[in-house]
Structure 1
Amino acid sequence: MLWSLPRLSRGLPRVRGASGVLPLLFPASLNAIDNIPSKGAKLWRVDPVDLSWNHNISEEVNVPVLQNVCKMAFNYRTVERGELFTKEYHMYFADDCGIISPVHDIPLFTGESKDDDRYMHMVVEIPRWSNAKMEMNMGTPMNPIKQDIKKGKMRFVNNIFPHHGYPWNYGALPQTWENPDIIESSTGTKGDNDPLDVCEIGTAIKPRGSVIQVKALGALALIDEGETDWKIIVIDTTDPIADSLNDIAGKPVNQFGFNGEFLNKSTSSKVIQKCYEHWCELIQGVVVKDNISLATTTCEVPSRVGREEAQALVDATNEYSPSSYPPEVDRNYFIYTDQETAGP
């Protein structure tokens, strides 16, 4: 079946670097690779950019931003449990001392920087060219990666020709949170109750569960079902082209009918800092969300759990077993402009 959606071929946003510009492939709608057609999702043009805080948590609420509270450990590994591509599948994270939460226990900032870039950790949830919609589950203790379920079925994104699955490595920034109780002044909508989403546009495919060091290049604001869902564009700092990519040109994204615009690195840094402060409120109990597990093994907060308790949660799940995609996942979908005829 063919759907009438905007074409990707012209007016692509570009990443500015020392060696010129690099076309940045992005679907007309992020949901175009998932639900076709998608209702209620649009790319939002944020112009002019206004990212003023509703409050400063360090001063007005007297909640200090967490510094040196969580153990800085960089030897991360994953522990897979349950059958892949089923609701029983869990990918837990661990450091040298045992199970951790990838949301709360992996530091946002790596402690390294270059020039004006402050490097960050990214948790890879979905490798490039893969279809299974995986994400760190906010409601499950220790926040393992699980496959999303929609209408009772395991969720796989569609293949938008010529791509297969996700055209980038997709994941999230740890220790960030888009607060659903605060209206984002730049978009007029509330946060989506999740960590900041990240699209890594480097040259290598990153395995699910990888924790990599990245630098921010820009941001895109997606308004999905009335919620702000930021997409931070990053690149692995070890990528061969990382040094030549430094920012995203503020060029509008074609004429998609969404008035979408990529925002520059400065804007993305403000978004990241803002969502980091929201996470600080969350993990310290200033903001209460019953549907989010705050279990942590490294942060000195009331929700901290012992390593033995965390390991017991993992042991209570089934042993890992591999599986294969359902055959329909390999179908291709095509994008047409409104002026073109899809044909029979």
Structure 2
Amino acid sequence: MAAIMRTAVKCAGSAAAPQRVACGSSVKQGLLRSSRQPQRLQQHRQRSGAIVRAVATKADTYTKVERGEANTFDFRIFLQEKGKDTSAWHDVPLYLDGGLVSFVCEIPKESSAKMECATDEELTPIKQDTKKGKLRHYPYNINWNYGMLPQTWEDPAHKAQDIGGVAGDNDPVDVVEIGSEECAMGGVYAVKPLAILAMIDDGELDWKIAAIRTDDPKADLVNDVEDVEREFPGELDKIRIWFRDYKKPDGKPENQFGYDDTWQNKEFTLNVIAETHGFYAKLKSGERENTEGLSLV
């Protein structure tokens, strides 16, 4: 495995709602190295050359159209390109020029409504998740822009043997955008992927990618996991703690993480993006049967 960042935080009272303040002098970080990456990721990267391609695009190519009343079950955000409805999951390209990727923002920073891409609805609009007949909210605000990578899919039939055999969660790959500006719900942005965390949620693998918008003032200063620790000290562990604890107010246990709770480096991140893009391509082409009732248009 290539270089990875281990972040070990021991904060008093961490079971409570995570705060945006630093934990103080009890934060300890170290850089771990290992001899090789997981073989499955290396092999996939070699196989995926025909899929991975750069596509020049801009966020302003897309406009968003809101339909239905906000804060209701009927509310949807659709993306449009040249006045035509388009799918945020299927039609926005994943890969951009210069090693960048597209990020579709579902949840703007400092908000709590749990918005998500409706992968089972035609044109996959953004809607608010529901639970027990109610619109779903996080128990406290999420402190970063949050959304997804288009044209990726965490296949529930694929088991990651190097993380105990957990399978994908049937969703696009999640992105935590760490920049200083609030993104618009439904906005499409070019971002630089920096690091990745293997979250295990209810026994399913739910990757979390840390990324930064290319127009952020610090974008040129960060290219890999160690740069994030230098320019945003402690931020990666705040993200991990937030996702570890956010279900606890509902009486659920902490989420777990693979690779000893460590963030993996950029090379590892790009391999996971390529792998999940490959899963998506097989689903979209019909090579992988659509047994999950997903909308492929």
Bin of the TM-score, shorter chain as denominator length: 0.7 to 0.9
SS at the partner of 2:88? Answer: coil
User: Is contact 1:57–1:277 with CA below 8 Å preserved after alignment?
Assistant: no
2:246 aligned residue: none
TM-score (norm 2): 0.74
2:63 aligned residue: 77
Structure 2: gaps of 5 or more residues: 1-12, 242-253
Give the paired residue count.
Answer: 251
1:5 aligned residue: 15
**Using the alignment, how far apart are the partners of 1:140 and 1:103 within structure 2?**
11
User: Is contact 1:177–1:279 with CA below 8 Å preserved after alignment?
Assistant: yes
Deviation, 1:167, is 0.7
**Using the alignment, how far apart are the partners of 1:269 and 1:106 within structure 2?**
18
Structure 1: gaps of 5 or more residues: 17-45, 160-164, 296-344
SS at the partner of 1:213? Answer: strand
**Using the alignment, how far apart are the partners of 1:173 and 1:130 within structure 2?**
20
Runs of 4+ in 1 over 2 A off after TM superposition: 10-14, 46-49, 53-59, 62-68, 70-74, 249-259
Aligned residues with identical type, % of pairs: 34
User: Is contact 2:45–2:275 with CA below 8 Å preserved after alignment?
Assistant: no
**Using the alignment, how far apart are the partners of 1:13 and 1:155 within structure 2?**
35
Residue 185 of structure 1 pairs with residue 161 of structure 2: yes
What letter matches 2:197 in structure 1? L
**1:36-115 map, 5 Å:** 49-50=37-38, 52-53=40-41, 65=51, 75-110=61-96, 112-113=97-98
User: Is contact 1:51–1:270 with CA below 8 Å preserved after alignment?
Assistant: no
- Residue 179 of structure 2 is aligned with which of 182, 197, 202? 202
Name the larger-Rg structure: 1
Q: Please, what is the CA RMSD of the aligned residues?
A: 3.4
User: Is contact 1:139–1:293 with CA below 8 Å preserved after alignment?
Assistant: yes
Highest RCO, 1 vs 2 (Cα 8 Å, sep ≥ 6): 1
Deviation, 1:143, is 0.1
Deviation, 1:208, is 0.3
User: Is contact 1:49–1:186 with CA below 8 Å preserved after alignment?
Assistant: no
TM-score (norm 1): 0.65
Deviation, 1:243, is 0.8
**Using the alignment, how far apart are the partners of 1:149 and 1:266 within structure 2?**
35
**Using the alignment, how far apart are the partners of 1:272 and 1:13 within structure 2?**
29
The answer to which structure has the higher helix fraction is 2
Distance 1:192 1:12, change over 3 A: farther
**Using the alignment, how far apart are the partners of 1:126 and 1:90 within structure 2?**
13
SS at the partner of 1:122? Answer: strand
Deviation, 1:138, is 0.5
**Using the alignment, how far apart are the partners of 1:281 and 1:73 within structure 2?**
26
1:240 aligned residue: 217
CA distances 1:258-316 after superposition (whole Å, capped 9, x unpaired): 54111111111111111111111011111122411001xxxxxxxxxxxxxxxxxxxxx
Distance 1:282 1:12, change over 3 A: farther
What letter matches 2:15 in structure 1? L
**1:1-344 map, 5 Å:** 5=15, 9-10=23-24, 49-50=37-38, 52-53=40-41, 65=51, 75-110=61-96, 112-113=97-98, 118-159=99-140, 165-187=141-163, 188-249=165-226, 253=237, 259-290=260-291, 291-295=293-297
**Using the alignment, how far apart are the partners of 1:48 and 1:63 within structure 2?**
21
What letter matches 1:293 in structure 2? S
